[in-house]
């Protein structure tokens, strides 16, 4: 398996990379960690005339907090996120989702921005970004703009990023107060793409009512999905009254485009998805009630 020929470019800055993408048009693609793009090229699922390698751009790497926002540079590797104390404390769902991505050798090169820009419906980070209401920063020769998570994923492996835009960072709001976070996945083998999975973020008030909730669904549609209808139906209700089974049902009932393959029919995946939502809810809600998520409260 050999990738089709392409021209390789290694710009020295984001600005240069963006200009390159603008000049080369839609025959060019950004190469970040390459852990999804290179296999796609090797399997000849993708043919590109130009690859613009941004994996060495230091300006794209790093984690920083300002106020109630944690910004993770798009070029930050998953391995870095996994070890980062600030992420663990302020965006625990990102930290907890990371070990589910591939394997250690993949996470050593795979990047946060690459995962989001690749927008695989079965990937972990897109679900987290949706559930936490994060924002993407995209730079092109025309400037930098912010894209809300809900506007980011437009189709299978497609995002709202324009051809000449580079995802440069992700901004995560720090959820404070009585919060809980969990990710649950079911896969045949650890590290495989999940048959179905879910992330849940929840905040409850002092009155034990659900104040805020984000549910991201993994592998249950043609795009990364957020179960907004289910969230709406539990907000304002006493947290102890919402069962995992109910939330699983609410989150999966509206699904109408669940993929089917050798690993499972759409019905089976939907069933597994509901179970994953239920498990994630049980964990996240109990963490919020017990106040065990001390990190986000700082």
Partner 1 sequence: MSDERVQLTINGRTWDTVVESRLTLADFLRERCGLTGTHLGCEHGVCGACTVMVDGDAVRSCLMFAVQADGTEVTTVEGIAEPDGALSPVQSALRECHGLQCGFCTPGFVVSITALLRDNPDPSDDEIREGLSGNLCRCTGYQGILKAVRMAAGDGEGDHAAEGVEPTTAVSS
**Site residues (CB under 8 A) for partner 1?**
1-8, 10, 31, 34-35, 38-39, 41-43, 49, 51, 53, 55, 79, 99, 102-106, 108-109, 189-191
Taking the complex as a whole, the smallest distance from the CB of residue 32 to partner 1 amounts, in Å, to 11
C-alpha–C-alpha distance, residues 52 and 7, integer Å: 9
Taking the complex as a whole, the smallest distance from the CB of residue 160 to partner 1 amounts, in Å, to 27
Q: Is 241 exposed, middle or buried (0-12, 13-18, 19+ CB in 10 A)?
A: exposed
Nearer to partner 1, 4 or 238 (CB): 4
Taking the complex as a whole, the smallest distance from the CB of residue 97 to partner 1 amounts, in Å, to 15
Residues 94 and 126 sit within 8 Å (Cβ to Cβ): no
User: CB-hemisphere CA count at 13 Å for 180?
Assistant: 22
**139 bridge partner residues:** 144, 166
Nearer to partner 1, 105 or 297 (CB): 105
Nearer to partner 1, 51 or 138 (CB): 51
Taking the complex as a whole, the smallest distance from the CB of residue 76 to partner 1 amounts, in Å, to 14
Taking the complex as a whole, the smallest distance from the CB of residue 75 to partner 1 amounts, in Å, to 13
Nearer to partner 1, 59 or 133 (CB): 59
Q: Is 189 exposed, middle or buried (0-12, 13-18, 19+ CB in 10 A)?
A: exposed
Nearer to partner 1, 38 or 255 (CB): 38
Residues 211 and 235 sit within 8 Å (Cβ to Cβ): yes
């Amino acid at each position: 398996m050999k990738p089709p020929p392409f021209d390789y470019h290694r710009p020295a800055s984001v600005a240069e990379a963006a200009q390159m993408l603008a000049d080369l048009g839609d025959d060019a693609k950004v190469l970040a960690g390459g852990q999804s793009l290179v296999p796609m090229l090797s399997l000849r699922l993708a043919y590109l005339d130009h690859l613009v390698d941004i994996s060495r751009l230091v300006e794209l790497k790093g984690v920083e907090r300002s106020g109630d926002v944690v910004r993770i540079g798009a070029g930050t590797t998953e391995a870095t996120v996994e070890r980062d104390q600030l992420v663990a404390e302020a965006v625990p769902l990102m930290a907890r989702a990371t070990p589910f991505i591939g394997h250690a050798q993949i996470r050593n090169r795979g990047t946060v921005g690459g995962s989001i820009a690749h927008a695989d419906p079965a990937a972990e980070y897109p679900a987290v970004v949706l559930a936490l209401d994060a924002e993407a920063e995209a730079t092109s020769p025309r400037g930098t703009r912010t894209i809300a998570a809900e506007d980011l994923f437009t189709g299978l492996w497609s995002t709202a990023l324009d051809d000449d835009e580079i995802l440069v960072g992700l901004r995560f709001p720090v959820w404070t107060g009585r919060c809980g976070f969990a990710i649950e996945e079911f896969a045949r083998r650890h590290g495989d793409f999940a048959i179905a999975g879910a992330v849940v973020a929840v905040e409850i008030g002092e009155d034990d009512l659900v104040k805020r909730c984000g549910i991201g669904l993994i592998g249950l549609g043609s795009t990364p999905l957020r179960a907004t209808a289910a969230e709406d139906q539990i907000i304002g209700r006493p947290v102890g009254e919402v069962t995992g089974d109910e939330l699983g049902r609410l989150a999966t009932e509206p699904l109408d485009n669940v993929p089917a393959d050798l690993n499972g029919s759409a019905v089976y995946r939907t069933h597994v998805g509901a179970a994953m939502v239920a498990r994630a809810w049980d964990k996240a809600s109990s963490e919020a009630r017990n106040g065990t998520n001390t990190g986000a409260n700082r």
